[in-house]
Structure 1
């Protein structure tokens, strides 16, 4: 028999397992952070949209309250 199996894992396999476990934990934290940032961005977009819509409504109200501009005809120059 060429392969000898021991009951204890080798130091390399322990290190590999630890690296994989740490990478999985870090990935989970990174995904949670990305999701949290996405929620913050959506909240900010909603806040800015509300401000823009309120400003547009105020501008429309102001435009409606102003008198309509009077149109004047252009005078033609007489050329001889």
Structure 2
């Protein structure tokens, strides 16, 4: 039975190894979490920028639509879809 026991030095080395591995895992997890948070911030910033652009475009479109409704109709009327056919003689 004495063969299954480990020496105190070996037990200490194993404990240090486990502690080092646990510390490395914590550091890796922290790095991954920071990367995830940075990505989330970037997505929120892009979303906010695109939303601002969309709202500005919608406002400009609405302004253009209201301006075209209030403008006098001095422009030529739109052509109808039917075209005249040329007759060659």
TM-score, normalised by the number of residues in structure 1: 0.69
Structure 1 consecutive aligned stretches of length 4 or more whose deviation exceeds 6 Å: none
Match of 2:14 among 12, 15, 38: 12
Segments of 5+ residues of structure 2 without an aligned counterpart are 72-89
Segments of 5+ residues of structure 1 without an aligned counterpart are 68-80
Match of 1:31 among 29, 33, 39: 33
The corresponding residue for 2:59 is: 57
C-alpha RMSD of matched pairs (Å) = 2.8
TM-score, normalised by the number of residues in structure 2: 0.62
Q: Distance in 2 between matches of 1:13 and 1:54?
A: 61
* Equivalences, count: 80
